[in-house]
Amino acid sequence: MDNNLAKMKKVAGKPKIRVASLGMYCPGCHYGIISRVICEVIEELGVEGKAIGLAGVGCSFGGAPMTIDIDWTSCPHGRAPAMATAIKRIHPDATVLTVQGDGDLGAIGLGCFMNALLRGEKLTTIFLNNAVYGTTGGQMAPTTLLGMKTTTTPVGRTIETNGYPLHLPEIAATMKGVAYAARCTVHTPANFKKAKKSLKKAIQKQIDGIGYGIVEFVSACPPGWKLDPLQCLDYISEKMLDEYPLGEFKNVDKIE
Amino acid sequence: MPKGKIKITEEFCKGCQLCIQFCKQGCIEISSDRYNPNGFLLPDFVNEDDCIACGICAWMCPECTIDVYKYIEE
Amino acid sequence: MSERLLVSGNNAVARGAIQADCKYFFGYPITPQSEIPEYMSKELPKIGGVFVQSESESGSIYMVYGGGLAGARIMTSTSSPGFSLMAEGISYLAEQEIPAVIVNVMRMGPGIGTGGQGGQTDYLQVTKGCGHGGYKNIVLAPSSCQEIFDQMQLAFYLADKYRGPVLVVTDFILGEMEEIINIKTHEFGSLPPKEWALTGKDKRGGERAIHVAAFFSYLGILNYHMKQIEKYKNIQETEVRYDTYLTDDCDMLLVAYGSSARIARGAVDMGRAKGYKLGLLRPITLWPFPSDALVQHAKKAGKVLVIEDSQGQLVEDVKAYLDSDIPVHLLGMWGRHNAGGGGIIHPERIIEEVEKING
């Protein structure tokens, strides 16, 4: 321990509600950075005591509940929006968040998710798009890029066999009950700051009782992409963001 | 004149090198042969004089294992 | 002086739930139980409750899962095809030990069946855990509107007491018929507070609650299963319920549940008038099954006739518990008076079967 630290002020470190532990994430996985975004936003909004998180199946499952000190439940694959609906209806003053991956939200969970949006539930969904199914070994996801090789698209995703990649915030933005829909990344410090702003807006829509908020994070999966953490950053800049443009697709303060 | 200093909790480091990538001042480098008990190659905080305590290395660390300190002006 | 009302079986489900202070219903229409969500959609807002029509039975069961995690008394109701969709969710409820009441108003299956008419073809599904993983649900099988009203209240109590899903199974006949019931609140005993429920840390003095797959979160694999085995043993010793009618001196024991038991009871009276010494054992808990009572009465009677509106499902459990020297006969769905969807087993047909068996 350095004695000089006594004359210093800590300006950055582990968020207060981040549980100090060896996380389950792979080296270079952006889940850990996104977990910091979630912690800092919850702390800044002052909702740590009212927050209830629901983690989907996949890397969300072991990661988020173990690293963020709020109430958590894990959910069966794809079902978080339905479970969150009930929890929010029973505890309307709670801040209810779902954290889900590509398959959980975009494949099996699409029905549950769409209907929660239709109902205009006052919830917030954090959607992790890393274009593969990470936990199960790197299979194709609804968000896999055309031409991208995965363990179930060994020659690259083709339109004929697997159709087109899924753009969820754009779809959500067309639905009336949605108050905020955006896409961001954490692959650079500037984007980290923008991501925090987006998530803060999304959760504020819930706190103000306006409508559903969804924030998609385009993120890296080093084992799934078979790239090292630094190469993943380039893959995001050069390939992922071509398919998945960043920005806000809907941001309303009132639903007419 | 250094403005700041970082401290890495090495037991949680996973050797991803994002801190090295994003430090604009070049204060962090990969060590040649320092490993933690989990087998990850650790970074070294070198060039201490150039640290400006911006905090970016802490933000970008997926393991939230870096603390950044700023010298208090007297 | 308690209130008396003429209600249908489906209505009795809803009224019983509200009487048990259940204020949250998440469900989806399906014949023959759509009257239950319809009634709930009207009544729950009046008492500060919430009704949400989900997008499907999958949606319903996961809303029930979330609602149970939030610590409230919650329920859903469905019929057989929807119940299959709920099987995964019920497996999760059982794993995580979340109290919930699920009503299955059975209809003929498999598949879409007759589209909503009579049948008792879910016995094996409801009693053998209905989903993956080998868990057990307490299954209540009322056979009158009063029993439905009373057993809905019991179901919520048992769900909270043992922390798990409790099934209440009726069927098309019970759901649609109307009888007079006495409105009464049953007290079953005190229950511990739900400190494990998800409410946000503030409401729990700053400590967080995590529900991440029971194996990971607190017990480990073996300990978890040993605890469940102990729990099920405890339920089997404490919660068996059944009814008997004229079994003290019978020489043929009829075994039936739900709507078939009403018909069988009529057959016992009809048979006794003709000099046949019939008796009826009616399981009320299909799980835990009243095996001790079955063995005791079957041995005394010497032979058994199972009556059920199915291919033969309850009969499998009856045979499993009895020694092979007690003959077990079955009058299944072929006993219906016609081959159409509206076919029903009449008491006269049961007497015919008795006469055939007796030679």
Query: Which DSSP string corresponds to C257-274?
Result: -HHHHHHHHHHHHHHHHT
The two structure tokens encoding residue C282? 């009616």
Closest Cβ–Cβ partner in B12, B40, B68 for A12: B68
Among A residues 6-25, those touching chain B with beta carbons less than 8 Å apart: 7-15, 18, 20-23, 25
DSSP for C87-148, written as a single string: HHHHHHHHHHT--EEEEEEE-S-STTTTSS----TTHHHHHTTSSTTS---EEE---SHHHH
Please give the average per-residue pLDDT across C226-255, as a whole number. Answer: 97
List, for residues C273-311, the tens digit of each pLDDT value: 999 999 999 999 999 999 999 999 999 999 999 999 999
For residue C110, cis peptide bond before it (omega within 30 degrees of 0):
yes
Domain CATH code at residue C349: 3.40.50.920
Tell me: pLDDT of C218 over 70: no
Q: Do the Cβ atoms of A51 and C63 come within 8 Å?
A: no
Please give the average per-residue pLDDT across B6-15, as a whole number. Answer: 94
**Is C199 within 8 Å of A91 (Cβ atoms)?**
yes
Tell me: pLDDT of A1 over 50: no
Same domain, C17 and C164: yes
Residue C197 resides in a domain? no
Place of tokens 């993956």: C132
The two structure tokens encoding residue A162? 């697997």
Tell me: pLDDT of A244 over 90: yes
With bands split at pLDDT 50, 70 and 90, how would you rate the model's confidence at A35?
very high
Domain CATH code at residue C103: 3.40.50.970
Using CB atoms, which chains have 3+ pairs under 8 A with C?
Answer: A
Residue of A57 and C4 predicted with greater confidence = C4
Closest Cβ–Cβ partner in A49, A72, A76 for C62: A76
Residue A238 carries which DSSP code?
I
Residue C199 resides in a domain? no
For residues C120 and C245, give the distance between their C-alpha atoms in angstroms, rounded to a whole number.
21
Domain boundary among C183, C204, C231: C183
Q: Do the Cβ atoms of B68 and A189 come within 8 Å?
A: no
The two structure tokens encoding residue C97? 């030990």
List, for residues C54-78, the tens digit of each pLDDT value: 989 999 999 999 999 999 999 999 9
Please give the average per-residue pLDDT across A227-250, as a whole number. Answer: 97
Same domain, C179 and C247: no
Same domain, C124 and C259: no
Residues 6+ apart with CB under 8 A from C78: C27, C28, C30, C33, C57, C60, C85, C86, C102, C103, C104, C105
Give Cα separations from A158 to A145, C13, C102, C262, C281 (angstroms): 9, 52, 44, 61, 63
With bands split at pLDDT 50, 70 and 90, how would you rate the model's confidence at C23?
very high
Q: Which amino acid is at C123?
A: Y
Beta strands at C278-283 and C242-245: parallel, antiparallel or unpaired: antiparallel
Q: Does C74 touch chain A (CB under 8 A)?
A: yes
Closest Cβ–Cβ partner in C52, C200, C201 for A91: C200
Counted domains in chain C? 2
The two structure tokens encoding residue A178? 């949605």
For residues A178 and A193, give the distance between their C-alpha atoms in angstroms, rounded to a whole number.
23
Give Cα separations from A155 to A64, A223, C79 (angstroms): 33, 18, 45
The two structure tokens encoding residue A62? 């072991």
Residue C302 resides in a domain? yes
Residue C168 resides in a domain? yes
The two structure tokens encoding residue A35? 């977990």
Q: Which domain holds residue B66?
A: 2-72
Give Cα separations from A248 to A36, A199, A244, C175 (angstroms): 21, 11, 12, 50
From chain A, the residues in CB contact with B71 under 8 A are 7-8
Cα angle C333, C255, C181; round to 5: 90
Same domain, C163 and C308: no
Query: What is the pLDDT, as a whole number, of residue A6?
Result: 66
What interhelical angle do C57-69 and A80-90 show, nearest 10? Answer: 50
Query: What is the pLDDT, as a whole number, of residue C217?
Result: 55
Tell me: pLDDT of B40 over 90: yes
Cα dihedral C132, C133, C134, C140 in deg (nearest 10): -60
Counted domains in chain B? 1
Query: What is the pLDDT, as a whole number, of residue C1?
Result: 64
Cα distance from A197 to chain C (closest Cα, Å)? 23
List, for residues C62-118, the tens digit of each pLDDT value: 999 999 999 999 999 999 999 999 999 999 999 999 999 999 999 998 988 887 789
Closest Cβ–Cβ partner in B14, B17, B68 for A230: B17
Query: What is the pLDDT, as a whole number, of residue C247?
Result: 97
Please give the average per-residue pLDDT across C155-170, as a whole number. Answer: 98
Residues across chain B: 74
Residues 6+ apart with CB under 8 A from A222: A26, A27, A28, A29, A228, A229, A232
Half-sphere exposure of A146 (CA within 13 A, CB side): 11
Place of tokens 């929660």: A116
**Is C168 within 8 Å of C7 (Cβ atoms)?**
no
Do B and A touch, 3+ Cβ pairs within 8 Å? The answer is yes
Number of H helices, E strands in chain B: 2, 4
Which region among A24-33, A40-49, A245-254 has the lowest average model confidence (pLDDT)? A24-33
Average model confidence (pLDDT) across chain A: 93
Tell me: pLDDT of C122 over 70: yes
Please give the average per-residue pLDDT across A110-129, as a whole number. Answer: 96
The two structure tokens encoding residue A58? 């996949």
SS3 assignment for A29-88? CCHHHHHHHHHHHHHHHCCCCCEEEEECCCHHHHHHHHHECCEEEECCCCCHHHHHHHHH
Please give the average per-residue pLDDT across A207-211, as a whole number. Answer: 97
Q: Which domain holds residue C311?
A: 242-358
Give Cα separations from C89 to A2, C64, C76, C126 (angstroms): 53, 9, 12, 14
Please give the average per-residue pLDDT across A231-240, as a whole number. Answer: 97
Name the 3-class secondary structure at A22: coil
Q: How far is CA C61 from the centre of its chain?
A: 16
Query: What is the pLDDT, as a whole number, of residue A20?
Result: 77
Query: What is the pLDDT, as a whole number, of residue C104?
Result: 98
For residues C329 and A47, give the distance between their C-alpha atoms in angstroms, rounded to a whole number.
64
Residue C201 resides in a domain? no
ipTM of the complex: 0.93
C318 forms bridges with which residues in the sheet? none
Same domain, C151 and C248: no
Do C and B touch, 3+ Cβ pairs within 8 Å? The answer is no
| Gyration radius (Cα) of chain C, Å | 21
Please give the average per-residue pLDDT across A84-99, as a whole number. Answer: 97
With bands split at pLDDT 50, 70 and 90, how would you rate the model's confidence at A58?
confident
Same domain, C76 and C176: yes
Q: Does C213 touch chain A (CB under 8 A)?
A: yes
Residue of A nearest to C52 (CA): A86
List, for residues A145-188, the tens digit of each pLDDT value: 999 999 889 899 999 989 999 999 999 999 999 999 999 999 99
Tell me: pLDDT of C243 over 80: yes
Residues 6+ apart with CB under 8 A from C205: none
The two structure tokens encoding residue C153? 């209240």
Percentage above 70 pLDDT, chain C: 98
Residue C220 resides in a domain? no
Closest Cβ–Cβ partner in A50, A84, A86 for C200: A50
Closest Cβ–Cβ partner in A48, A72, A111 for C212: A72
Residue of B nearest to A34 (CA): B62
For residues C51 and C34, give the distance between their C-alpha atoms in angstroms, rounded to a whole number.
14
pTM of the model: 0.89
Average model confidence (pLDDT) across chain C: 94
Q: Which amino acid is at B65?
A: T
For residues A172 and A114, give the distance between their C-alpha atoms in angstroms, rounded to a whole number.
8
Please give the average per-residue pLDDT across C27-34, as a whole number. Answer: 92
With bands split at pLDDT 50, 70 and 90, how would you rate the model's confidence at A3?
low
Cα dihedral C283, C285, C286, C292 in deg (nearest 10): -60
Same domain, C159 and C39: yes
Among B residues 2-31, those touching chain A with beta carbons less than 8 Å apart: 4-5, 7, 9, 11-12, 14-18, 21-22
For residue C327, cis peptide bond before it (omega within 30 degrees of 0):
no
Cα distance from B20 to chain A (closest Cα, Å)? 10
For residues B69 and B6, give the distance between their C-alpha atoms in angstroms, rounded to a whole number.
6
With bands split at pLDDT 50, 70 and 90, how would you rate the model's confidence at A59?
confident
Q: Distance between the two ends of chain B, CA-based, in angstroms?
A: 15
